[in-house]
């Protein structure tokens, strides 16, 4: 889509529309102004590798069915493209095949919409085989209905086995090939999904809770992921810089271990076909015992972005999952802004919220403690365990997976008071002493 030409990156003009008789422009998130959506489109364009030569925002009573903007505005757009040496028009609205064809014919420039731009960025950043298959499926699903109306100039008889027939056109051949490829990709991704489910079932046999990072793109999820796990995941200001999911073990203050997953960022008007194609990947979110909803607390659009993320989570069937809301980038807030979000110094404004700076590390320890409190899977139990001197392996597991509060060695054996995950308490059932012994030992 937005490929480099021999002269360098493509020069694009961004076009948005404000509807006069609507509370918000069609296709925009409720509460997000067209100017804000156009600014987001600018960031997407830069992430795709194009240069923004200019922008245009038109106020209309309604969208033109044939050209979106109207022929008079297209004349103005054509003149602007010539003056700015632009060769690409990017619209902040989904274009119908007819609109796209008419715009390109009238302006002599290639025209794409927001959805095509997002698909192009995803194609650039997909690194794994699964991610590439998902992107291809989304692109073909988007392309198939847009083959309609390409005209009789593409019509010709087929030229091979399985393509010949009375009057079959090249357009029909293209449609059939795309449908066949979509079926192949769907079957392949279903196989990948089943493999993922088998791996997940094996993972669930070892009770390690899963925690998933979710949030609007460029909210700092990957930076936070790196801060928590000391991983080296790519953290970039470009939108959708992280596409393929990544998982790392994270140790909490209670010594519990959780599997933390970093997932693709969400965005307003995320194409439905893309959500469907990436459903296997996004299952990491829907199956998580806890979702960390990361937002940019310094962004003036935080509320609208959070609403969009919750909308996508609902589409994924994760609306009932426990959510811990994390306001990231608190280092960019003024003292007054921090006071509004955190009335009590050092604490989050409300239960189920946390303020952090993934960049500086501020609030990370409080976040880990909040995750510990929010996880209901495999809760922590305080127990007294007794081992013989020869059971050093079992004792080592207690130190490794729990927090030992007291230890007493004697000729009869080793007695420890420890906070352990419930699953480990069950494993050491024969070593557990009466509950009353715990308080006596700690005193």
Q: CA 297, CA 324: separation in Å to the nearest integer?
A: 14
Task: Place domain 208-374 in its CATH homologous superfamily.
Answer: P-loop containing nucleotide triphosphate hydrolases (3.40.50.300)
pLDDT 10s digits, 279-333: 656 767 777 889 999 999 988 888 888 888 888 888 777 777 889 999 999 999 8
Q: Would 11-121 and 208-374 be classified into the same CATH topology?
A: yes
Neighbours of 203 (CB within 10 A): 13
Q: What is the 3-state secondary structure (H, E, C) of 231-300?
A: CCCCCCCCCCCCCCCEEEEEECCCCCEEEEEECCCECCCCCHHHHHHCHHHHHHHHCCCEEEEEEECCCC
Which pLDDT score, from 0 to 100, does residue 301 have? 87
| Two structure tokens written together for 161 | 């086995």
Neighbours of 110 (CB within 10 A): 16
Please enumerate in sequence order all residues whose Cβ is within 8 A of that of 261, keeping only pairs 6 or more positions apart, or say none. Answer: 210, 211, 212, 213, 245, 246, 247, 284, 285, 288
**Residues with pLDDT less than 50, the chain:** 1-6, 23-29, 149-168, 343-349, 438-439, 442
The fold adopted by the segment(s) 380-442 is Alpha-Beta Plaits (3.30.70)
Which pLDDT score, from 0 to 100, does residue 4 have? 44
Ordered by start, the domain boundaries in the chain are 11-121, 126-149+170-206, 208-374, 380-442
Which pLDDT score, from 0 to 100, does residue 238 have? 55
Residues of the chain by 3-state class (helix, strand, coil), percent to 5: 45, 20, 35
Task: Place domain 11-121 in its CATH homologous superfamily.
Answer: GTPase HflX, N-terminal domain (3.40.50.11060)
pLDDT 10s digits, 9-26: 899 999 999 887 654 444
Q: Please check whether residue 364 is in contact with residue 228, taking contact to mean a CB–CB distance below 8 angstroms.
A: yes
The alpha carbons of the chain give a radius of gyration, in whole angstroms, of: 28
């Amino acid at each position: 889509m937005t490929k480099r030409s021999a002269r360098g990156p493509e020069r694009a003009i961004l076009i948005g529309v404000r509807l006069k008789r609507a509370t918000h422009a069609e296709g925009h998130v409720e509460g997000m102004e067209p100017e804000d959506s156009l600014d987001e489109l600018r960031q997407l364009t830069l992430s795709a590798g194009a240069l923004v030569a200019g922008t245009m925002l038109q106020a209309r009573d309604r969208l033109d069915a044939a050209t979106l903007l109207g022929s008079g505005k297209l004349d103005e757009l054509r003149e602007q493209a010539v003056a700015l040496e632009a060769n690409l028009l990017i619209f902040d609205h989904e274009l119908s095949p007819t609109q796209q064809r008419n715009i390109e014919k009238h302006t002599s420039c290639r025209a794409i919409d927001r959805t095509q731009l997002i698909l192009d960025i995803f194609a650039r950043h997909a690194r794994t085989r699964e991610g590439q298959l998902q992107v291809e499926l989304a692109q073909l699903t988007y392309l198939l209905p847009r083959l309609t109306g390409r005209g009789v100039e593409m019509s010709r008889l087929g030229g091979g086995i399985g393509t010949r027939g009375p009057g079959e056109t090249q357009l029909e051949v293209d449609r059939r090939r795309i449908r066949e490829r979509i079926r192949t990709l769907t079957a392949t991704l279903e196989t990948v999904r089943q493999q993922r489910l088998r791996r997940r079932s094996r993972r669930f046999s070892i009770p390690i809770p899963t925690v998933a990072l979710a949030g609007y793109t460029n909210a700092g999820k990957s930076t936070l992921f790196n801060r928590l796990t000391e991983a080296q995941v790519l953290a970039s200001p470009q939108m959708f810089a992280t596409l393929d999911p990544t998982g790392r073990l994270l140790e909490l203050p209670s010594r519990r271990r959780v599997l933390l997953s970093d997932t693709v960022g969400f965005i307003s008007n995320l194409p439905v076909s893309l959500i469907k194609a990436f459903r296997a990947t996004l299952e990491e979110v829907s199956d998580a015992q806890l979702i960390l909803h990361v937002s940019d607390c310094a962004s003036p659009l935080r509320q609208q972005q959070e609403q969009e993320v919750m909308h996508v989570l609902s589409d994924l069937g994760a609306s009932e999952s426990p959510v811990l809301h994390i306001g990231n980038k608190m280092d960019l807030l003024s003292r007054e802004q921090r006071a509004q979000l955190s009335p009590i110094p050092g604490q989050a404004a409300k239960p189920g919220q946390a303020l952090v700076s993934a960049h500086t590390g501020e609030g990370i320890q409080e976040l880990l403690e909040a995750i510990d409190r929010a996880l209901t899977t495999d809760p922590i139990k305080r127990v007294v365990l007794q081992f013989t001197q020869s059971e050093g392996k079992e004792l080592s597991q207690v130190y490794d997976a729990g927090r030992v509060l007291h230890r007493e060695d004697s000729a009869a054996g080793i007695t420890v008071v420890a906070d352990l995950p419930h699953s480990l308490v069950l494993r050491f059932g024969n070593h557990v002493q009466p509950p009353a012994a715990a308080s006596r030992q700690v005193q």
